[in-house]
Structure 1
Amino acid sequence: MVQHYQSPVRVYKHPFALVMLAYERRFPTCPQIPVFVGCEVTMDEESNGGAIRKTERRCKLNVEAPYILKKIIGVDFVYFIQRNVLDRRNSILEIEACNESFSNRVGVVEKCKYYIHPENPNWTCFEQTASLDIKNFFGFENSMEKLAMKQYAQNIAKGKEIIEYFVNQLKEEGITYVEPWTDPSPQKDIEVDVPIKGEGEAVGNKEPDSETKLPSSRDMQLSSDYIARYLGKLNMMQESRLVQLRHSIEELRGSSVPADATLLRFLRAREFSVEKAREMLTQSLHWRKKHQVDKLLDDYEAPQVVKDYFPGGWHHFDKDGRPLYVLRLGQMDVKGLLKSIGEDEVLLLALHVCEEGLQLMDEATTICGYPVSQWTLLIDLEGLNMRHLWRPGIKALLRIIEIVEANYPETMGRVLIIRAPRCFPILWTLISTFIHENTRNKFVFSCGTDYQEQGAGGLTDYIGQDVIPDFLGGPSETFIVDGGVVPKQLYRLDLEVGASTEHEHSLYQSISLSRGQVHNVVIHCNDPGAVLTWDFDVMRHNVTFTVLRKTRNSICDDAGGPSRSSFTNGELDAAATKEWKEGIDCVKVEPSVLCHDGESIQGTHIMQVAGSYILQWQYQEDQTERLPAITSHKAQLMYFHETLPSVQYRGSMMSLQSAISGKSIASSSLSR
């Protein structure tokens, strides 16, 4: 496998002539690089007038390798050939080095260049590229590759320091300025052909300035100083991958290349694989163009429902200078938002938040004086219950997660989850598998009432005390709406029809109940600890809802009996219409709830023991009627239930359950 390295531009804040004098002091030996034992000059020629100087050196390097490897290869030193072309007229030094030892087994080629900074003539730039190709090395190919790259990284890290060291040495000797070279003759110099441009390629009679392309101002942004200031600390290979990705995208898209911070985020998302990052970024750029995402900040106008009922917004910064977004998810009416504005509009809202995050991170980088490439999300779950697990709402959330992960990778620095209720492990189970592992590792959970305490993941570990939101007992006023229930008169009929067609008909069952009628759904559980969930809408009249568990044999056995799906039609009818008598046939495991016309009810029950459980709906008599009605309006409802295996949420999230006391109940607080 061939390893490639391409450096960002390093800037020496010294004139070119002074840097060249310092460079010459690296020879014939350089104590700052111990592996560089010495060198001999094999060729040193100048053209007429001295405009072009060509030098060739045979360099001796110590082999830093394990003793056994040295014994196998039989050498303590390896030799490299270094060829330099100094173009004094254009102030450019080009260097090429390749290995002489083991050249039939290992190919090492390094190219470097010094030149005047394109925007400041008193500064000097340096850049380098290298390739390592280990073809066959006595079965130690992987070991040699690791050793070579490690040694090369160490030498590169010392490279800039060495030039600075010799510049300072010159200053101590009183040499602070070197007169730039001037052409003694106006005539063009005659040059000597020396192989320097590449393997098998000669310079010929062309001067280096005719083939050398100096970087543009955009190229100059990727200097090591620029990276440290605006992108953060990167190691040698990470810098190289960033440069390679930018050049690769430039070849595909010309001048329309994303910001360097964006390139770096995609690289991090793909573990600095240039090929994978390029593929991911290219797909994202096509997506942005197709959906006009670049215009979102200017064109997006939040619907009035969002302004009135969406409990989220930006709120100062965390302790690391990251923009802080606060979302009161427990106060959000997920179903109401989706039925009033639709899934696409909710997605648009999420994308607008992401675009605002990118803009705020750039502003924070400028203000803080150090790179801010991520933002923090604070999610308050007080009020979260099973109504937030409404099936179409989960589907919309998963779609948003998928799109955000693909197009805004590595923008989330930390997710602070506070006041998580007992039902949260179920929600986490449903969505966590769709979140990339790198993002999952950034979640911090704080349960109970100690979320403000410092230490052990408390809020004040990450957010300054002065910016704790007021609704959490802090001093900082937030300009975030309280959320609440979206009025049903704001629901859009076209969305109601679409939702019913796409989601509810495929998942939900509809039933009608006449006066005195009961409908039961029997679920058999042979997985103690499994979670039974339900979601139903009362379309007409009032009903009473109860959750029961069988205590004696009837249609189903308590252990090993048939599941609901194995009943015959007659048995199903009998189970659905049977009047289960509490204390005789069954016990109540959740309190009965009176559900009114138009309400949506969601709930959950952990089935601690194996057996048969019953979801029961009963027609509720109107107590205000003094005389029996001549005709009875049927109650209508639409329901869905699901059993989540215990193994899905048992384990890491069980601490969340134990942190909040209380039983799961279906109550009016779960309804809308």
Structure 2
Amino acid sequence: LKVTFCVHPENEDWTCFEQSASLDIKSFFGFENTVEKIAMKQYTANIKRGKEVIEYYLNELIAEGITEIPRWVPPEKRALSKPAIVAGVSKRCARRLTERVVCCASNLSADKLDADYIERYLGQLTPMQESCLIRLRQWLQETHKGKIPKDEHILRFLRARDFNVDKAREMLCQSLTWRKQYQVDYILETWRPPAFLQEYYAGGWHFHDSEGRPLYILRLGQMDTKGLVKALGEEALLRHVLSINEEGQKRCEENTKIFGRPITSWTCLVDLEGLNMRHLWRPGVKALLRIIEVVEANYPETLGRLLIVRAPRVFPVLWTLVSPFINDNTRQKFLVYSGNNYQGVGGLVDYIDKEIIPDFLGGGCMCTVPEGGLVPKSLYQTEEALENSDHIKLWTETIYQSAHVFKGAPHEIVIEILEGSSVITWDFDILKGDLVFNIFHSKRSPQNSKKDPSASTPGVNNVQLIEKSWVLGVDYSMVESPLMCREGESIQGSHITRWPGLYILQWKVNGPAPVSGPALPRVDDVLASLQVSSHKCKVMYYTEVLASEDFRGSMTSLESCHSGFSQLSGGTTSSSQSQSSSLVSR
């Protein structure tokens, strides 16, 4: 923790009080960086408690009739200065902290907003909050090139930073730059969601809550979240989420006019019926956290209330995993109902008019929100296909990669392991053809990645790393038994590495397995090679390396709703010292 006092750069009669802190989390299930960010956000939110202390001593000074405080003079210069009159030692510290507050308050009356305007569009504001809004708006008018946001938009950022003008200005300027760079102001006019999204994305707007807030319904338990990520890609999914937030702000403005009072946030009703661990697989969590980070940075204070209904028994487990990534202010807006506790007094009727409760929750209002369902794997798109978009890219990378595999030309990726007992995890789908998945430990470093000549078509990814001159058992070794994968299957698993070095993950067309030394092919292998359904296969994959201490209990690569859970080996789940692994589950 570091506290700094300095003279304000724009007004030497003001004293700036700055407090900063640093936090380093060494182990948190592989999400250390995200936890650090959220912890710092929580620390920022707690600074308002310090503000209450400052206001307390400010009131003490006012009660004593003190309206001016002389500038503090260092001890070595104090003898040359006119002595200051102080009320006591404890008051001296308080006066240093409150000097800026007093000086700011003395300048509040220079400009005022119309009281009717505040009541009609902004809600209740203290004189200090009103002054902060005026100062930030004036600064934008003087320095910002481009469209100046509305007062209610500026106010959201001030509230998110507890009316610290400097921090709110920094956050707002970054957001305005982001909006201009990615043309977010025009997203409602330019974004055209794919047709299948309207069928499988189980979310939509549904009237308003009892306070006039726009109501958004999300039937999360009915959604194939994994299928949506693989069919849409993170880019399109984020763009769709942004369009929902933009639509929410637009509806807030409309409801403000309809109800004659300021409505600046919306309510979200989340139905968790059908939710289970398949909704939290590691790549999906990674994409979700990236989306949350973008939304929190650019749409602060837009969520008024989150109503969670029909929470299943598994929800406490999921909440334990997710809650560390949600700050205290947002968490206070959550109301969770398990089973049928949402019905009757004390349930949804306290927040949503009875005639508006959706029919699938026992109400009498017909809800047009889609029911979701499994996304057909035929809709899954490779990252090359997702790149063919006219939109300015919000993200420069995708979580899932894809590759074509040809007969005689496997696709291979190399992973460098620096410490033994690290865990290689994977999640891949066979979109076309039948493949064999292998993991090798290499004693040699691949020189240059080779691309199969038959894969010279633009956008086709096919990389070969194992040289034909390499000898299995000499230059590289197999660390897992080959896994046969059929078209349409989803494969998840992990491998605990025994040694540091280079590991090669290989997908090849189903055919004879490699042998070490001269040997005649088996009859079964010959028949298998003749029964290959296609000479061109396609795979979509995700890999990640975790330290062994981060892997135990972490959100690993879980199965999609197309199949059951991934089965991690006993060695993976019981002891990080074991060298067992898992190449299973479909």
Shorter-chain TM-score tier: 0.5 to 0.7
Q: How does 1:457-536 map to 2 (within 5 A)?
A: 458-495=347-384, 503=399
Code of the aligned partner of 2:94:
S
1:257 aligns with 2:148: yes
Q: How does 1:97-176 map to 2 (within 5 A)?
A: 137=86, 139=89, 140-144=91-95
Distance in structure 1 (CA, Å) of the matches to 2:376 and 2:433: 19
- Matched-pair contact (CA < 8 Å) for 1:386–1:603: no
Which residue of structure 2 lines up, in the alignment, with residue 241 of structure 1? Answer: 132
- Matched-pair contact (CA < 8 Å) for 2:490–2:560: no
- Structure number with higher relative contact order (C-alpha < 8 Å, ≥ 6 residues apart): 2
- Matched-pair contact (CA < 8 Å) for 1:542–1:596: yes
Which residue of structure 2 lines up, in the alignment, with residue 363 of structure 1? Answer: 254
Deviations 1:143-168 (A, max 9, x none): 347889999999999x9xxxxxxxxx
Which residue of structure 1 lines up, in the alignment, with residue 501 of structure 2? Answer: none
Code of the aligned partner of 2:135:
Q
Q: How does 1:207-356 map to 2 (within 5 A)?
A: 222-253=113-144, 256-356=147-247
Q: CA deviation at 1:394?
A: 2.2
Distance in structure 1 (CA, Å) of the matches to 2:427 and 2:153: 41
Could you say if the C-alpha distance between residues 574 and 450 of structure 1 is closer, same or farther in structure 2, counting changes exceeding 3 Å?
Answer: farther
Which residue of structure 2 lines up, in the alignment, with residue 607 of structure 1? Answer: none
Secondary structure in 1 matching 2:212: coil
Could you say if the C-alpha distance between residues 272 and 540 of structure 1 is closer, same or farther in structure 2, counting changes exceeding 3 Å?
Answer: same
**What is the TM-score of this pair, normalised by structure 1?**
0.50
- Matched-pair contact (CA < 8 Å) for 2:383–2:400: no
Could you say if the C-alpha distance between residues 153 and 270 of structure 1 is closer, same or farther in structure 2, counting changes exceeding 3 Å?
Answer: closer
Deviations 1:436-488 (A, max 9, x none): 43223322222223222432xx3233222221111222111111111112222
Code of the aligned partner of 1:353:
I
1:402 aligns with 2:298: no
Higher strand share: 1
Secondary structure in 2 matching 1:304: coil
Secondary structure in 2 matching 1:321: coil
Which residue of structure 1 lines up, in the alignment, with residue 513 of structure 2? Answer: none
Distance in structure 2 (CA, Å) of the matches to 1:601 and 1:452: 40
Q: CA deviation at 1:409?
A: 0.5
- Matched-pair contact (CA < 8 Å) for 2:234–2:398: no
Q: CA deviation at 1:333?
A: 2.0
- Matched-pair contact (CA < 8 Å) for 1:338–1:393: yes
Deviations 1:12-71 (A, max 9, x none): xxxxxxxxxxxxxxxxxxxxxxxxxxxxxxxxxxxxxxxxxxxxxxxxxxx9858xx99x
Q: CA deviation at 1:665?
A: 13
Distance in structure 1 (CA, Å) of the matches to 2:235 and 2:560: 33
Which residue of structure 1 lines up, in the alignment, with residue 37 of structure 2? Answer: none
RMSD between superposed Cα atoms in Å:
5.6
- Matched-pair contact (CA < 8 Å) for 1:390–1:535: no
- Matched-pair contact (CA < 8 Å) for 2:210–2:353: yes
Which residue of structure 2 lines up, in the alignment, with residue 598 of structure 1? Answer: 488
Code of the aligned partner of 2:375:
V
- Matched-pair contact (CA < 8 Å) for 2:252–2:264: yes
Which residue of structure 1 lines up, in the alignment, with residue 527 of structure 2? Answer: 631
Could you say if the C-alpha distance between residues 534 and 666 of structure 1 is closer, same or farther in structure 2, counting changes exceeding 3 Å?
Answer: farther
Q: CA deviation at 1:668?
A: 4.6
Which residue of structure 1 lines up, in the alignment, with residue 40 of structure 2? Answer: none
- Matched-pair contact (CA < 8 Å) for 1:339–1:496: no
Deviations 1:272-310 (A, max 9, x none): 100000000001001111111111122222221212221
Percent of aligned positions that are identical:
45
Distance in structure 2 (CA, Å) of the matches to 1:262 and 1:476: 33
Code of the aligned partner of 1:600:
S
Secondary structure in 1 matching 2:273: coil
Q: How does 1:399-478 map to 2 (within 5 A)?
A: 399-425=290-316, 427-429=318-320, 431-455=322-346, 458-478=347-367
Distance in structure 1 (CA, Å) of the matches to 2:301 and 2:65: 44
Q: How does 1:549-588 map to 2 (within 5 A)?
A: none
Q: How does 1:14-33 map to 2 (within 5 A)?
A: none
Q: CA deviation at 1:422?
A: 4.1
Could you say if the C-alpha distance between residues 250 and 295 of structure 1 is closer, same or farther in structure 2, counting changes exceeding 3 Å?
Answer: same
Could you say if the C-alpha distance between residues 492 and 235 of structure 1 is closer, same or farther in structure 2, counting changes exceeding 3 Å?
Answer: same
Secondary structure in 1 matching 2:527: coil
Residue segments in structure 2 that go unaligned for 5+ positions in a row: 1-6, 8-12, 16-57, 74-82, 388-394, 406-424, 436-472, 495-523, 566-584
Could you say if the C-alpha distance between residues 223 and 665 of structure 1 is closer, same or farther in structure 2, counting changes exceeding 3 Å?
Answer: closer
Deviations 1:79-130 (A, max 9, x none): xxxxxxxxxxxxxxxxxxx86xx76779xxxxxxxxxxxxxxxxxxxxxxxx
Could you say if the C-alpha distance between residues 599 and 401 of structure 1 is closer, same or farther in structure 2, counting changes exceeding 3 Å?
Answer: same
Could you say if the C-alpha distance between residues 634 and 380 of structure 1 is closer, same or farther in structure 2, counting changes exceeding 3 Å?
Answer: farther
Could you say if the C-alpha distance between residues 408 and 136 of structure 1 is closer, same or farther in structure 2, counting changes exceeding 3 Å?
Answer: farther
**What is the TM-score of this pair, normalised by structure 2?**
0.56
Could you say if the C-alpha distance between residues 634 and 462 of structure 1 is closer, same or farther in structure 2, counting changes exceeding 3 Å?
Answer: farther
Code of the aligned partner of 1:599:
E
- Matched-pair contact (CA < 8 Å) for 2:308–2:337: yes
Code of the aligned partner of 1:141:
R
Secondary structure in 1 matching 2:311: coil
Count matched residues: 416
Deviations 1:342-370 (A, max 9, x none): 22111111111000011111111122222
Q: CA deviation at 1:336?
A: 2.5
Distance in structure 2 (CA, Å) of the matches to 1:257 and 1:301: 27
